[in-house]
A = this chain, B = another copy of it.
Amino acid sequence: MVKKRPVLKESEFFSKGQLYFLPHISIDCVIFGFHNNELKVLLLQWKETLKWCLPGGFIYRDEHVNDAAIRILKSRTGLEDVYLQQFYTFGDPQRDRGNHGVKQKKNSWINDRFITIGYWAIVEYSQVKPTADEFSKTCEWWDIDKVPKLILDHNDILKEALESLRKNVNEYPVGKNLLPPKFTMPDLQRLYETLLGKKLDRRNFQKKMLSLDILQRLKERKSGVAHKAPYLYKFDEKKYQRALKQGLKFGL
């Protein structure tokens, strides 16, 4: 169980000269969603500079790094129990060499060198309530192809996260996390096509997905659509969990 932590304002980061957080170490989260057949990523905009960045935060001195990532994720999305994956730790001493830094206060601990631990998460778009933090003006979804220049090395981090996610696509059924509970086969295909960046054959795709034996076709069809109405599917929870344990391969 993850310990509850108060949300601190910057003025409360210190107690008797002692920083609540570990110095020099931060966490950055790349939060992916899927909507309108587009892959989205959640970004924050700084109040003063109006520059964009990945949601991130620091680690309490007695907090598990993974718990810190969960906490940060929850504070920006409102979601718990999401698929969250640590993918790389960025340790360049000049991570701000691109000159998109956010130096704000002189001699602040926040201007020290930071090593950042990168996590990515896949979440159900419609469930997310994007929530800004104390330092930021807004928190918004961005189309992955339209992401602006971010602060520090956050564009690099995003790039690496995407690569890591793509590698996972063939080993983990990401649909469960990125799609709503009920979805159509074409929906699922769009998702994979977007993630993999290539077109897939409709029929072979369906065959492969069904052969994994983790989907359950519902009797209903999608209503109010043009052309022939596609069936709705959902993940069969039991089979899904069983398949996860023994590790399933996609090979798309």
Identify the A interface with B (CB < 8 A). Answer: 22-25, 59, 61-66, 68, 86, 88-93, 113, 115, 117
Closest to A117 in B: B89
Q: Report Cα–Cα, A93/B22, bound state, in Å.
A: 11
List 10 A-B pairs, minimum CB-CB distance, nearest first. Answer: A65-B91, A89-B89, A62-B93, A22-B24, A89-B117, A64-B92, A64-B93, A64-B91, A65-B115, A63-B93
Q: Report Cα–Cα, A244/B61, bound state, in Å.
A: 42
Contact B25–A115 (Cβ < 8 Å): yes
Q: Report Cα–Cα, A22/B63, bound state, in Å.
A: 19
Q: Report Cα–Cα, A22/B112, bound state, in Å.
A: 11
Q: Which residues of B contact A62 (CB under 8 A)?
A: 93, 113
Q: A24-B23, A24-B24, A25-B25 are in contact. Are A61 and B91 (CB under 8 A)?
A: no
| CB proximity of A163 to chain B, nearest CB, Å | 12
| CB proximity of A121 to chain B, nearest CB, Å | 16
Q: Report Cα–Cα, A88/B117, bound state, in Å.
A: 10
Contact B115–A91 (Cβ < 8 Å): no
Closest to A251 in B: B251
Contact A117–B93 (Cβ < 8 Å): no
Q: Which residues of B contact A90 (CB under 8 A)?
A: 65
Q: Report Cα–Cα, A64/B115, bound state, in Å.
A: 9
Q: Which residues of B contact A22 (CB under 8 A)?
A: 24, 113, 115
Q: Which residues of B contact A86 (CB under 8 A)?
A: 88-89
Q: What are 23 of the A-B contact pairs (CB < 8 Å)?
A: A22-B24, A22-B113, A22-B115, A23-B23, A24-B24, A25-B25, A25-B115, A59-B91, A61-B113, A62-B93, A62-B113, A63-B93, A64-B91, A64-B93, A65-B89, A65-B92, A65-B115, A66-B91, A68-B91, A86-B88, A86-B89, A89-B89, A89-B117
Closest to A22 in B: B24
Q: Which residues of B contact A24 (CB under 8 A)?
A: 22-25
Q: Report Cα–Cα, A252/B60, bound state, in Å.
A: 43
Q: Report Cα–Cα, A116/B89, bound state, in Å.
A: 10
| CB proximity of A118 to chain B, nearest CB, Å | 9
| CB proximity of A179 to chain B, nearest CB, Å | 26
Q: Which residues of B contact A65 (CB under 8 A)?
A: 89-92, 115
**Most chain B beta-carbon contacts within 10 A, residue among A89, A91, A92, A93:** A91
